[in-house]
Amino acid sequence: MSPQALAEYALGRIRAGVTKAGLREELASVGWTEEEIETAYRAAVVLLGAPLPTVGNRATLSRQAGTVDVVINFFSFILLGIVATALGTLFFQIINVTFPDALDVSYYGANEASGAIHYAIAALLIGFPLYFFAMKLWFRKFREDEGRVESKLSKWLTYLVLLVTAVTMVGDLIAIVFTLLQGEITARFFLKAITILVIAGGIFGFYFLERRKIQYQRDIPQRVFQYFGRGVTLLVLMGIALGFVVGGSPEMARNRSFDQTRANHLNTLSDCISQYTQSLGALPSTLAELRQSSQYSYCTGYTKDPETNEAYEYRVVTPSKVQGTTRVGEFELCATFALSTDETSPNNMYGESAVWYDYVAGRSCDTVSVTLVPVK
């Protein structure tokens, strides 16, 4: 059946007293799509004598978007920034962990990457559904009220987004071609460049179609925007899934944080014991002796496990022995860790090498030598 024949059928049913909802249900039951039914209904209404809007009367009949519409649209642009930034950060961190750069030394290593990944996931879990429903509400308002006119602020913000994303894509492509010509392109760089291109290109494509639909009243099928929504949703879900694989579960993040604190405690405690020994000329027999000196009393705050509140193990291995021309002592500190460290991860927040930042899951001990200085 041709569109004209469908419109004439709809006209006959309207004259017979069938409501729009009844006509929609009737045609949908035999396979007509929502878009085809809506087009036929509009054509039937025109055949009944309904006047078509012109440039002159549309300005009179159209309604400016209200304050609520402006707020919803402005809020959607804020959410767009949150979602785009979070999605870019998520994939960048996944790429950083999967393709590590030996020259990229980070102070916090796995903790930093895991924290950034989890924050990006949190932003997507909150921001993306809100953005999705805000845009759905935005399109619904214009679909239900064809005479509605959007605010100038909405237009300016939309064109600003189009400009920024267009410039981003051009700059990204220039960087890819330049790096390729220099022969310096790597998988890490290429994947990051593709990430920027996909995010910026997706935003540009969506708002380009949105302008044609909202501002220029072009007849763009609703399924086009549905495909966009499904594609972006799939990309977000894939990013979140990869984020949990690379960044670890919430339980792993908690264990990693506790282990980092344990390593920091042992590092600080080792420095305290070494300074105490060099000042008094002998190793403390127990950690409790540190409290007896006001100078080292602060060190007692690092003597217990942050999770179990149990004291770390301390043992004097060698009270004193001659080593070359000096006299040294040796002590051992032990703690129980939840995870093992990655040998390629940075050692500590200061970027210094320390034995305490290389451990295995379970009970881990390290022995330290300290020079004994006689009491003067």
pLDDT in tens, 238-267: 999 999 988 888 888 888 889 989 999 999
Q: Is residue 118 part of a domain?
A: yes
Do 242 and 102 fall into the same domain?
A: yes
Exposed e or buried b for every residue in 32-60, given b needs 16+ CB within 10 A?
beeeebebbbebbeeeeeeeeeeeeeeee
Do 40 and 92 fall into the same domain?
A: no
Q: Is residue 273 part of a domain?
A: no
Do 222 and 107 fall into the same domain?
A: yes
- Report pLDDT digits (tens) over 130-178: 999 999 888 887 777 666 677 788 889 999 999 999 999 999 999 989 9
246 Cβ contact partners less than 8 Å away, ≥ 6 residues apart: 93, 94, 97, 98, 113, 117
Do 35 and 104 fall into the same domain?
A: no
Share of the chain above pLDDT 70, in %: 87
Residue 34 has a pLDDT of 83
When divided into structural domains, the chain yields a total of: 3
203 Cβ contact partners less than 8 Å away, ≥ 6 residues apart: 80, 84, 161, 165
| Residue 133: HSE in the Cβ half-sphere, 13 Å Cα cutoff | 4
Instruction: State the residue range of the domain holding 206.
Output: 66-248
Q: Name the residue with higher pLDDT: 1 or 114.
A: 114
Residue 1 has a pLDDT of 65
Residue 295 has a pLDDT of 84
- Report pLDDT digits (tens) over 313-361: 999 999 888 877 788 899 999 999 998 876 434 444 444 446 788 888 8
Do 182 and 312 fall into the same domain?
A: no
State the average pLDDT over residues 12-20: 86
Residue 109 has a pLDDT of 53
**Number of residues written out for the chain:** 376
Residue 120 has a pLDDT of 95
Do 98 and 40 fall into the same domain?
A: no
Residue 124 has a pLDDT of 96
